[in-house]
Chain A
Amino acid sequence: MTTVAEPTTNEKQASRIRQSARLGEWLVLYAVSILGAILISALLVTATGGEWQSVVTALLDGSMRNPGRWGETLGAAAPLLLVALGTVISSRAGLVNIGQEGQLAVGAAFATYFGFLIGGPGPLNLLVLLTFGAIGGALWAGIAALLRFWRGVPEVLSTLLLVAVAGQAVAYGLRWQWLLLAPSASRGNRNQVSEQLSPDRRLPNQVIFGNSFPISVYLAVIIALVVAFLLARSIWGFRLKMLGRNPRAAQHAGVSQNRYGSTALMIGGAFAGLAGAAMLAGGGFAFGNFQLVPGFSANIGWTGLLVALVARERALVCIPVALVFASLRTGSGFVASTGVEGRITDVIQGLLVLALLVPPAVMFIRDRRRARAATTART
């Protein structure tokens, strides 16, 4: 019989040193890649005749420093966070949903249609609005789930192609008064616009130091906490994770891929749809005037997806990332006034995401190399 040797103080110390070295490695990798992305963006601005200092100033002014701006940034971060949380859930189950942009648009359309159809007193109507937003998004994602689990169509493609269809379908609905179009009396000479939500049906605004933002911000943060808890601590979350890591093992353990997979995909859609409804009822920066128009989704779906990718399936990390991306968004309007094309923020965003993909991948390779070296050393 052998006894398990207690780790000596020396070994403990060595492992502690190894761990802090690892942490340092992570930090260096992240710092280098983020700096790289910023450097390339700055070079681009300089190469096209702009000044990068003024772009940075404009971004900070537009997102935080000028009066009322950080409220706008919070307002923009809320739908981004909601979309990202939905994406975290579906990717936890190993599904690649990249159609949030369409699910968001359909959610907003459902919210508009059923909100005006059902009516009712203000606060109750608001609830109807948000609920049907989520249902709309879930149904749109449900199409992709059906195609995936019944017809074997990869969900990557079906969700993506459905984005194009969703945009056109909403625009189509806005042509007909029995669907989404506002009655001619209230729309003036505009062609494709829905009726405006009356003030009592909008999300209440919170005002702090002259910054106002809709209360969907609180809603999004609460949902983030709930999602983080459910994914980490519930049986359901565990099953999703099992499905994502090893579908075959999950199947043997009695986790039906069809059932849990399509549920995860539809919840992802529901969150995007909820974000759409919240944008509709929350109004504010760049989300229109409490009414549905073609192109209403305004890339929030795509950006929310990027937030989830950067946060790498961790619900709570989505919160700061959503704030950063919302700042880029609210800041971009101010950049245009410096003479640099406002779309530079799209470039910065893309480069940043690409840069943040590098460190985990590098660490993975290094860890494997070290593990292999350790095994060869032992034998």
Chain B
Amino acid sequence: MGFFEALVDIFTSESTYINGALFAALLLFAATGEWVAERAGTINISVEGMLLSGAFTTAVGYDLTQSAVLAILAGICGGLIVAFLQAEMSHRLSADQFVVGLTLNILVLGLTGFLDREIDPQTKVVDTWEIPILSDIPLIGQALFGQPWPFYLLYVLVPVSAWLVYRTRFGLDVRAAGENPQSADVSGIDVNKRRRQAIYYAGFTSGLGGAFLILVQVGQFEDSIVGGRGFIAIAAVIFGGWTIRGTIAGCILFAGALSFRLSIQGLGYQLNSELLQSLPFLVTIVGMAFFAHRVRPPAALAQPFVRGLK
């Protein structure tokens, strides 16, 4: 069996697209919120912790209520808790945003690991909704329109986020806070408040992402279930040049790398597992190396704003 045949096999099998869509969806849930936060000027590396915390609270919520809707609400709360700490510490107090984010990631990892052993919530994958006609499209029909229902939240979330950032007063404020906080401040925008709100939005979408991870993709909470995919979502935003279209493209590319690993094993090809494991990260690094210098970041990205200090 040659390498070329293997590639053809992968691209003509429906499971590749289903896996790819699941990975891309998780990345997109996280990346959409991260994109908003970065447009406001924060590199929010606690998105990894937000996903993990959202996933854990979803699992606990489902275990307690046996209701997927309530579990998703619990997941949103989980994401928002981390967002609260990140936002208040980095943009009300002025602690360094990377330090706060990193600490939160480690704290959430320890906390969910600890509580998971103590509580051990039981969950399962929720029902699939087949969208008539659309789900019969060959190859991609099942992947895009034959998924468990929380998947379809994405079709609302992404356009709404784009509308919010590009077409509303709030979005204008957010972008102003990320591009030129001094001017924004002079024109009456509370820069740090807008930045906090953008982080809350990231917490909200990442909480949804965590819920998606539990209720659609995996079905059971495990220790360190997110496994660095939050970081890949951040890379997707940078790769996409801080536009929503680019972010979507980045998510699809990196999800391709993630699902390639599953597909090639599922089809019975043998490849070194360590190389496959690191493939998504390598693709991300190489992707950024090619595209990071071509795009222009928000001018005040990762710079704290304190009135009167430049």
Contact = CB atoms under 8 A, between A and B. Distances in A.
Interface of A: 44, 48-49, 96, 98, 147, 151-154, 156-158, 160-162, 164-165, 168-169, 171-172, 175, 302, 305-306, 309, 341, 343-344, 346-347, 349-351, 353-354, 357-358, 360-362, 364-365, 368, 372
A154 B238 contact: yes
A302 B113 CA distance: 16
B293 interface: yes
Given A160-B231, A368-B306, A48 B115 contact: yes
Interface stretch (B10-18, B24-32, B72-80, B281-289): B281-289
B140 interface: no
B43 A154 contact: yes
Given A161-B284, A172-B274, A306-B103, A346 B109 contact: yes
A347 B293 CA distance: 38
A305 B275 CA distance: 27
B102 A98 contact: yes
Nearest to B278: A168
A343 B116 CA distance: 10
Given A151-B292, A361-B89, A161 B281 contact: yes
Contact of A347 (B89, B102, B111, B292): B111
Contact of B95 (A161, A169, A351, A358): A358
Nearest to A343: B114
Interface string B110-123: 11011101100000
B107 A156 contact: no
A162 B93 contact: no
Interface centre among A164, A358, A364 (most CB of B within 10 A): A164
B98 interface: yes
A350 B110 contact: yes
Contact of B102 (A147, A172, A309, A358): A309
A171 B234 CA distance: 26
A169 B274 contact: yes
Contacts of A302: 106
Contact of B231 (A44, A157, A364): A157
Contact of B99 (A357, A364, A372): A357
Interface in B249-286: 272, 274-275, 277-278, 281-282, 284-285
B43 A357 contact: no
Contacts of B228: 161, 164
Chain A interface mostly helix, strand, loop or mixed? helix
27 contacts: A48-B114, A49-B118, A98-B102, A147-B289, A151-B292, A153-B293, A156-B45, A157-B231, A157-B235, A160-B45, A161-B232, A161-B235, A161-B284, A164-B281, A302-B106, A306-B103, A309-B99, A343-B110, A347-B107, A347-B111, A350-B107, A350-B108, A350-B109, A354-B107, A360-B95, A361-B93, A361-B95
B110 A349 contact: yes
A147 B114 contact: no
Interface of B: 43, 45, 85, 89, 93-95, 98-100, 102-104, 106-111, 113-115, 117-118, 228, 231-232, 234-235, 238, 272, 274-275, 277-278, 281-282, 284-285, 288-290, 292-293, 306, 308
A142 to B, nearest CB: 14
Contacts of A368: 306, 308
* Ranked 7 nearest A-B pairs via Cβ: A346-B110, A350-B107, A361-B93, A152-B293, A168-B278, A172-B274, A361-B95
B257 to A, nearest CB: 12
B111 A350 contact: yes
A168 B306 CA distance: 42
A302 B139 CA distance: 43
A98 B281 contact: no
B106 A153 contact: no
Contact of A165 (B45, B282, B292): B282
Contacts of A309: 99, 102-103
A162 B284 CA distance: 10
Nearest to A358: B93
B139 to A, nearest CB: 30
Contact of B292 (A153, A343, A350, A362): A153
A309 B85 CA distance: 17
B31 to A, nearest CB: 13
A157 B102 contact: no
Contacts of A153: 238, 285, 288-289, 292-293
Given A48-B118, A153-B289, A365 B93 contact: yes
B98 A96 contact: yes
A346 B106 contact: yes
Contacts of B231: 157, 160-161
A157 B114 contact: no
Contact of A158 (B110, B114, B117, B288): B288
Contacts of A44: 114
Nearest to A151: B289
